[in-house]
Amino acid sequence: MSDNPVQGLLQTALSGLNGMMDVNSIVGKPIETSDGTTIIPISKVSYGYFTGGSEFGSSSSTHMPFGGGIGGGATITPTAFLVIGPSGAQLLPLDMPKDSLSRIIELTPQLLVSVREWFDNGASSRPQ
């Protein structure tokens, strides 16, 4: 079965997918902020492929012509951020819960504090 052309197509597809997908596709590179907080993006990776082939000609010949094809696709969807800061670690999912307005209101004070700190740090580094 080692000389089967379909097997060659399949090996080509799998080696291509292995080259595209690695652990950094799922758990992204950490992002460091000026206040020491680390943000790590988390994603969902989905991929699929198909392959097929057929031999044409009569069964009496020793070598039959082969026709085949391969196709595939992949998606990477961000799903959450892991935030590690002085107050601990928190997982912030990107899918909004049913009561998304409550979630936005809950996170607003944290956002305002971060924006204020950012402006304060930026203002102190400007030349006078």
The pLDDT value recorded for residue 39 is: 92
DSSP annotation of 96 reads P
Give CA torsion, residues 11, 13, 19, 20, to 10 deg. -160
Sheet with strand 66-85: strands edge to edge: 31-32, 38-55, 66-85, 88-93
The pTM score is 0.49
For strand 66-85 and strand 38-55, is the pairing parallel, antiparallel, or unpaired? antiparallel
pLDDT in tens, 108-119: 777 777 878 877
pLDDT in tens, 62-107: 666 777 777 777 788 888 999 998 888 888 888 755 566 666 767 7
Q: Is 41 exposed, middle or buried (0-12, 13-18, 19+ CB in 10 A)?
A: middle
- Give residue limits of the domains in the chain: 5-94, 96-128
DSSP annotation of 94 reads S
